[in-house]
Amino acid sequence: MQKRGKKYNQAITLIEKEKAYTIDEAVELLERTNTVKFDPTVEIHFNLSIDPKYSDQMVRSTITLPNGSGKSVRIWAFDDSGNEKDLLAAWANVAWGDDLIDLVSQGKIEFDVA
């Protein structure tokens, strides 16, 4: 049988296997039983008891996370009017003219928003 660490064994004693936890209790339990040094990812599954064959029972939705997704967006501005400094001060990561267009068409630069 596989050996477990001290932190893992201590965390297991805090969990009641047969208990159904509320969301608040589950989040608190996650924080108390965390054994890693980084922020872990949590996955949630819901049983909605619906039949997706019927169009009135389909669930499709998107949400916006309150603190964002943690990913930074790379914004590149294509500008040939000489306003590069203004664009960089406002929001763009890189503001360039024809040279940037050539680099993008060659596939040498990756960005999220142009």
Q: What is d(CA 87, CA 76) in angstroms, rounded to the nearest whole number?
A: 9
Could you tell me what percent of the chain has a pLDDT over 90?
A: 10
Angle at CA of residue 30, ends 26 and 35, nearest 5°: 160
Is residue 110 within 8 A of residue 74, CB to CB? The reply is: yes
Helical H segments across the chain, by residue range:
6-14, 23-32, 84-90, 98-105
Q: Is 0.75 surpassed by the pTM of this model?
A: no
pLDDT digits (tens, 9 = 90+) for 42-83: 888 888 888 888 888 888 888 777 777 777 777 767 766 666
Contacts with 40 (C-beta within 8 Å, 6 or more apart), sequence order = 30, 34
Domain ranges of the chain: 6-57
